[in-house]
Amino acid sequence: MTLLTVRDLRVGFGRDPRANEVVKGVSFTLGAGKTLAIVGESGSGKSVTALSVNRLVDFGGGRITGGSIVLERGDGSRLDMTTADEATLTHVRGRDVGMIFQEPMTSLNPVHTIGAQIEEAFRLNRGLTGEAATRAAREALERVRIPDAAQRLKYYPHQLSGGMRQRVMIAMVLASNPRLLIADEPTTALDVTVQAQIMALLAELREELGMAMIFITHDIGLVAGIADEIMVMQHGVAVEQGSLDAVLDNPQHDYTRHLLNAVPHFTFGNTVRDDGTRNGQPPIVTVDNLAVRFPVTRGLFRRRTGAVHAVDGVDFDLVPGETLAIVGESGSGKSTTARAILGLVQATRGRIDAKSGRSGRPVQMVFQDPYASLNPRLNVEGLLAEPAIAAGQRVDAKLRERMVTLLERVGLSRDALTRYPHQFSGGQRQRLCIARALMLNPDVVVLDEAVSALDVSVQARVLDLLIDLQREFGLAYLFISHDMAVVERIAHRIAVMYAGQIVEIGKAAAVLATPQHSYTRRLIAAVPAVARRRQRFTVDATQVPSLVRPVGYEPPPAQWREAGDDHRVRVEETA
93-106 pLDDT, tens digit per residue, is: 888 899 888 777 77
- DSSP classification of residue 176: S
- DSSP classification of residue 66: E
What does the pLDDT read at residue 396? 92
Q: What is the mean pLDDT of residues 379-402?
A: 93
What does the pLDDT read at residue 300? 77
From the list 184, 182, 33, 216, the residue with the least C-alpha distance to 101 is: 184
pLDDT at 316 over 60: yes
C-alpha atoms less than 13 angstroms from C-alpha of 470 in its C-beta half-sphere: 25
Q: How many residues does the chain have?
A: 575
Segment of 177-186, 358-367, 450-459 carrying the highest mean pLDDT: 177-186
Residue 353, sorted as left (phi over 0), alpha (psi -120 to 50) or beta, turns out to be: beta
What does the pLDDT read at residue 536? 58
What does the pLDDT read at residue 289? 95
Q: For residues 36, 522, 273 and 330, what is the CA-based torsion angle, rounded to 10 degrees?
A: 80
- The string of DSSP letters for 323-383 reads EEEEE--TTSSHHHHHHHHHTSS--SEEEEEE---SSS--EEEE-S-HHHHS-TTS-HHHH
What does the pLDDT read at residue 538? 58
Please tell me which residue, 192 or 76, carries the higher pLDDT value: 76
* Residues 6+ positions from 130 with CB-CB distance below 8 Å: none
Over the range 469-493, which residues count as b (16 or more CB within 10 Å of their CB) and which as e? Answer: bbeebebbbbbbbbbbbbbbbbbbb
pLDDT at 539 over 60: no
Q: For residues 414, 418, 423 and 429, what is the CA-based torsion angle, rounded to 10 degrees?
A: 60
| Burial bucket for residue 395 (CB in 10 Å: 0-12, 13-18, 19+) | middle
pLDDT at 299 over 80: no
Please tell me which residue, 193 or 240, carries the higher pLDDT value: 240
Percent of the chain with pLDDT over 70: 94
What does the pLDDT read at residue 537? 59
Q: What is the mean pLDDT of residues 215-219?
A: 84
Give the angle 347-349-355 at the CA atoms, nearest 5°.
Answer: 65
The tens digit of pLDDT for each residue in 273-294 reads 766 667 778 899 999 999 999 8
What CA–CA distance (Å, rounded) separates 469 from 463?
10
pLDDT band at 574 (very low <50, low <70, confident <90, very high): low
Q: Which of 74-78, 383-387, 436-440, 474-478 has the lowest mean pLDDT?
A: 74-78
From the list 528, 559, 560, 548, the residue with the least C-alpha distance to 220 is: 528
C-alpha atoms less than 13 angstroms from C-alpha of 8 in its C-beta half-sphere: 3
Contact 540, 231 (CB under 8 A): no
The tens digit of pLDDT for each residue in 391-439 reads 889 999 999 999 999 999 998 899 999 999 988 877 888 899 999 999 9
* Residues 6+ positions from 347 with CB-CB distance below 8 Å: 290, 291, 292, 340
Q: What is the mean pLDDT of residues 6-21?
A: 92
Question: What ranges in 227-344 are assigned the alpha helix state H?
Answer: 244-249, 254-262, 334-342
Please tell me which residue, 375 or 190, carries the higher pLDDT value: 375
C-alpha atoms less than 13 angstroms from C-alpha of 159 in its C-beta half-sphere: 11
Contact 217, 7 (CB under 8 A): no
Q: Which of 108-117, 156-165, 513-522, 529-538 has the lowest mean pLDDT?
A: 529-538
What CA–CA distance (Å, rounded) separates 62 from 56?
9
Query: Average pLDDT over the chain, rounded to whole?
Result: 87
What CA–CA distance (Å, rounded) separates 493 from 69?
51
- Pairs from 335-341 (Cβ < 8 Å, separation ≥ 24): 335/448, 335/449, 335/480, 336/292, 336/310, 336/311, 337/287, 337/290, 337/292, 337/311, 337/497, 338/365, 338/446, 338/448, 338/478, 338/480, 340/290, 340/292, 340/311, 341/285, 341/287, 341/446, 341/478
CA 531 to chain CA mean position, Å: 21
What CA–CA distance (Å, rounded) separates 476 from 321?
5
Angstrom CA distances, 573 to 334, 517, 563, stand at 22, 11, 17
Angstrom CA distances, 250 to 40, 62, 243, 260, 342, stand at 17, 35, 10, 11, 47
